[in-house]
Structure 1
Amino acid sequence: MVQSRVIRDAVTTDLAAIAEIYAHYVTGSVATFELEAPDAEEWQRRFASVTAAGLPFLVAEHESRLAGYAYCTPWKTRPAYRRTVEDSIYLAPWAHGRGLGGALLDELLARCAAADIREVIAVVSDSGEQASLALHGRRGFTEAGRLRRVGHKHGKWLDTVLLQRSLGPL
């Protein structure tokens, strides 16, 4: 029996599909504040940076098709922040509503805990779309703050909501 959903480590051959998924959000939404989609070289750099830091970079496959990805980056570069990361999760438009975002986030949190990460931060654009806030909320993230009118994209000033999840003992 073929498994219809797989969460696995990303590999460099996934980067073209990852770039395509992300480009959809760069050009057609305010889910990210990037204004131009990163090129292949930039995706190679991001992938190498995440994996060299020992942080997870995952993909979700649904029916043998790359459906989404998730990864963490260091929250800040100063050494005192070394156990705090920021997550990023994006799904292909056709992949929404299949539980893949939750599966990616669950595995991402498990990998972060195994890597001795203590705090995971999500920075979510407050565009009125509740999917990302709800996904993180179902996984124990709580609102830690709001930054008002910090992004300007598609003719709108946008807030970001900061969410936080603790993974380990204090």
Structure 2
Amino acid sequence: MSIFIRPSSESDLDAITAIYAHAVTHGTASFELDPPDKPEMARRRNALLEGGYPYLVAEKDGTILGYAYAGAYRTRPAYRSTVEDSIYVAPSAQGQGVGRLLLTALIEACETRDFRLMVAVIGDEESKGSIGLHQSLGFEPVGILKGIGYKHGRWLSTVLMQRPLGRGMLEPPTRPIR
């Protein structure tokens, strides 16, 4: 059976929480230091969905391999058409194209919602896989914030990348101010 990308559901929260806990504990994709529990992950997911953002999972044979969502890049109204992407893949599924499938579907979902720009804030300059994935899907590097976070006993930088969505900046946004 192939990998299926679909909107997340509440029943996915155990897997989502476990995938994120591993990323927080062992990786640099998130600058959180302590993994949140399932109720907190549910609260975060619900807030994104209520805000009109996509929240997707990758599933194969009933197992969640990863998840991705878009959220507000910043909360000020002028940023309403810009989203930040987040992608997390289970350790056992890394290197199998799950991240590419999720990011491709996330881009499409954001375009159907008339978002105009997607920003990637990639933790750690050494995250070559994430940087390469984003670059291969049309993201351009726009900067590096050096030594902005401290985790796992070292200073970490973040790589900033961006990609236009849909009509991009060709015309004013249609998204209402919230």
Which of 140, 154, 157 is the aligned partner of 1:156?
154
The 8 Å contact of residues 74 and 86 in structure 1, kept in 2 or not, is answered as yes
Match of 1:75 in 2: 73
What is the Cα deviation at residue 127 of structure 1? Answer: 4.5
**Equivalent-residue separation in structure 1 for 2:80 and 2:165 (angstroms):** 14
- Please list the CA deviations of residues 3-49 of structure 1 after superposition, one character each: whole Å capped at 9, or x if unmatched: 42100000011011001001111111222110000111211111111
Cross-structure match for 1:87: 85
Residues 69-117 of structure 1 deviation map (CA, whole Å, 9 limit, x = unaligned): 0001101111110010110001001101221111111110000000000
Q: Contact 1:31–1:127 at 8 Å: present in 2 too?
A: no
Moved over 2 A (4+): none
Flag structure 1 segments of 5+ consecutive residues without an equivalent. Answer: none
- Cα RMSD after superposing both structures: 1.0
2:108 to 107, 110, 113: 110
Compute the TM-score of the two structures, normalised by the length of structure 2.
Answer: 0.91
Give the letter for the 1:60 counterpart: A
Identify the residue that residue 96 of structure 1 maps to in structure 2.
94
Aligned length: 168
Residue of structure 1 aligned with 2:140, choices 139, 142, 157: 142
Report if the CA contact (8 A) 2:122-2:159 is conserved. Answer: yes
Displacement after TM superposition at 1:126 (Å): 2.0
CA distance in 1 between partners of 2:135 and 2:83 (Å): 17
- Can you list the C-alpha shifts for 1:102-160, whole angstroms capped at 9, x where unaligned? 11111100000000000000100125231100110110001011101000001100110
SS in 2 for 1:150: strand
8 Å contact 1:69–1:90 — kept in the other structure? yes
Q: Distance in 2 between matches of 1:127 and 1:84?
A: 23
Give the 3-state SS of the residue equivalent to 1:35 in structure 2. coil
Q: Which consecutive residues of structure 2, in runs of 5 or more, have no partner in the other structure? A: 171-178
User: What's 1:126 paired with?
Assistant: 124
Partner SS, residue 60 of structure 1: strand
What is the TM-score of this pair, normalised by structure 1? 0.95
State, as a whole percentage, how many aligned pairs show the same letter: 48
